[in-house]
Amino acid sequence: MTSKKILLTGGAGFIGSHLASALAERGHRVRVLDIMDPQVHGVVPHRPQAPGVEMIKGDLLDAGALSHALEGVEVIFHHAAAVGVGQSMYEAADYTRVNSLGTAMLMEKVAKAGSRVEKVIVASSMSIYGEGRYRCTVCGPVAPEQRGRKRLLSGKWEPACPGCGLDLTPLPTDESKPLSPTSVYGVTKRSQEETVLVMGKSYGIPAVALRYFNVYGPGQSLSNPYTGVAAIVSSRLLNGKPPCLFEDGEQGRDFVHVSDIVQANLLAMEKDEADFQALNVGTGVRTSVRELARGLTRRLAPENNVAPRILGTFREGDIRHCYADITQIRTRLGYEPRVLLEKGFDDLAEWARVQKPLDRFDVATAELVSRGLVIGS
Ligand code: UD1
């Protein structure tokens, strides 16, 4: 592919910085627009900037900074977003402003006459599905609603069949599953995805939404207690504390290594088979949070061999299981996950071992508890 002028919003973040390096290595001219939020980057940012990448510290919501960042741009990767699921439930207005309004402002400028933009690729999320797909032994495949509080308080963690009430078995979730986000974060990710796809289609600008499953890998923001479970567990272990697992720890996710997310983005840019589509990016493998904690404990605290603390409580808005059906992205783009869990854990642990993260799990959880967002405590 010829060298492109690329804007990467949120390009100083965990995923964005990996993508920025990969694009620059391929000879593209990369410009990053990032607000450098201290919750993600710390007060003194420590993540090194990829060589050859132009950095603009600025806010997507600042029309002047955005226009400047868009000058001459041909391809946009839109990663700028506020990303804490729990936090989004008490900072709903802020999440909506940054994620939904920010995306609308970006697309308004992209759609303006004179824009040279050829493609927009937006970072979407599995959070827009809510619960994943399941099978009931009696009723067949079903898509259950969010689990009810009464059921959760009685310690029944698995969702019930909407038809007959029996416990369900998880299935891979494909893109046609009806969207049903269970957090404000999920609602804003859905609006980001839909805004980009709808405006792309209306203005004839190829647009792709990549629905990331649970991304992990080196460079994760270990001290950010609002981020994903792999980072939080690593940070606990490195501070000599046991991982804390909500529910019974058997909730299932699809943990996808950041390098595979980069692979998917590059393919979506280089090929046109994903244009105007929303595609899952995962591994297709379901892993429990308990297995994740076990794998990271073996690597980061082998001498203590600490058992995880099973909390038996649940976070409002959490889903039980969701893992990806990756048929679409395989078929359309030739994507294949390359880093599976054991190697991925090695990679994360090797990097995490030399970090000095702060463990803020207790503070962040206390905040959720005080707002009634951790139930059963
Ligand atoms: C959510 C989003 C996802 C986003 C990710 C990171 C949903 C359904 N998905 O994923 O799109 O990429 O956040 O922002 O909203 N857990 C523990 N102990 C911990 C932390 C988490 O047991 O210390 C549990 C949670 O209760 C949950 C599971 O681990 O059951 C995964 O949580 P998390 O990593 O926050 O991600 P998701 O909620 O799956």
Distance 6 CA to ligand 1 centre (A): 30
Same structural domain for residues 110 and 157?
no
Q: 328: domain CATH number? A: 3.40.50.720
pLDDT at 350: 96
pLDDT at 66: 96
Per-residue model confidence as pLDDT tens digits over 294-318: 999 999 998 876 899 999 999 988 9
Distance 21 CA to ligand 1 centre (A): 27
Q: Is residue 166 part of a domain?
A: yes
Report the nearest atom of ligand 1 relative to the CA of 236: 23
Same structural domain for residues 161 and 235?
no
The pick from 145, 214, 248, 359 for probing ligand 1's pocket by mutation, whose C-beta has the most ligand atoms within 8 angstroms, reads: 214
Distance 63 CA to ligand 1 centre (A): 32
Same structural domain for residues 86 and 113?
yes
pLDDT at 157: 96
Q: Between residues 70 and 50, which one has the greater pLDDT?
A: 70
Of 143, 170, 197, the position where a domain reaches its end is: 170
* Residue 44 pLDDT greater than 70, yes or no: no
Report the nearest atom of ligand 1 relative to the CA of 129: 8
**Which of these, 343, 326, 342, lies nearest to 334 by C-alpha position?**
326
**Which of these, 126, 124, 158, lies nearest to 142 by C-alpha position?**
158
Distance 247 CA to ligand 1 centre (A): 12
For residue 122, list its beta bridge partners: 78, 209
The pick from 289, 359, 362 for probing ligand 1's pocket by mutation, whose C-beta has the most ligand atoms within 8 angstroms, reads: 289
The count of other CB atoms within 10 Å of the CB of residue 155 is 11
In the chain, alpha helices (H): 14-25, 38-41, 63-70, 85-88, 92-95, 102-111, 149-153, 184-203, 229-238, 258-270, 289-300, 327-333, 341-352, 361-370
With bands split at pLDDT 50, 70 and 90, how would you rate the model's confidence at 255?
A: very high
Of 125, 147, 170, the position where a domain reaches its end is: 170
Q: Is residue 268 part of a domain?
A: yes
Q: Is residue 154 part of a domain?
A: yes
Residue nearest atom 12 in ligand 1 by C-alpha distance: 214
DSSP letter string, 11-63: TTSHHHHHHHHHHHHTT-EEEEEE---HHHHTTTT-SPPPTTEEEEE--TT-H
Distance 294 CA to ligand 1 centre (A): 17
Residue nearest atom 17 in ligand 1 by C-alpha distance: 245
> Which of 10-24, 27-41, 141-155 is the least confident region?
27-41
Of 170, 190, 223, the position where a domain reaches its end is: 170
Same structural domain for residues 140 and 103?
no
Same structural domain for residues 145 and 23?
no
Rg, Å, the chain Cα set: 20
Domain that holds residue 150: 134-170
Same structural domain for residues 184 and 94?
yes
Q: Is residue 377 part of a domain?
A: no
Q: Is residue 222 part of a domain?
A: yes
Over residues 284-291, mean pLDDT: 98
Task: Specify whether 134 is catalytic.
Answer: no
Q: Is residue 199 part of a domain?
A: yes
Same structural domain for residues 17 and 84?
yes
- What's the total number of domains in the chain? 2
Q: Which of 95, 134, 185, 335 is catalytic?
A: 185
Same structural domain for residues 187 and 86?
yes
Per-residue model confidence as pLDDT tens digits over 145-174: 999 999 999 999 999 999 999 999 999 999
Collect all residues with Cβ–Cβ distance below 8 Å to 149 and sequence separation of at least 6: 375
Q: Is residue 344 part of a domain?
A: yes
Give dist(CA 198, CA 169) in Å, integer.
34
Same structural domain for residues 166 and 54?
no
Same structural domain for residues 149 and 183?
no
Report the nearest atom of ligand 1 relative to the CA of 245: 22
Same structural domain for residues 164 and 18?
no
Residue nearest atom 7 in ligand 1 by C-alpha distance: 127
Q: Is residue 181 part of a domain?
A: yes
Same structural domain for residues 119 and 156?
no
Ligand 1, CB within 6 Å, residue ranges: 83, 85, 125-127, 183, 185-186, 214, 227-229, 232, 244-246, 251, 253, 289, 315, 318-319, 361
Distance 19 CA to ligand 1 centre (A): 22
Six-digit token string for 48: 């090194």
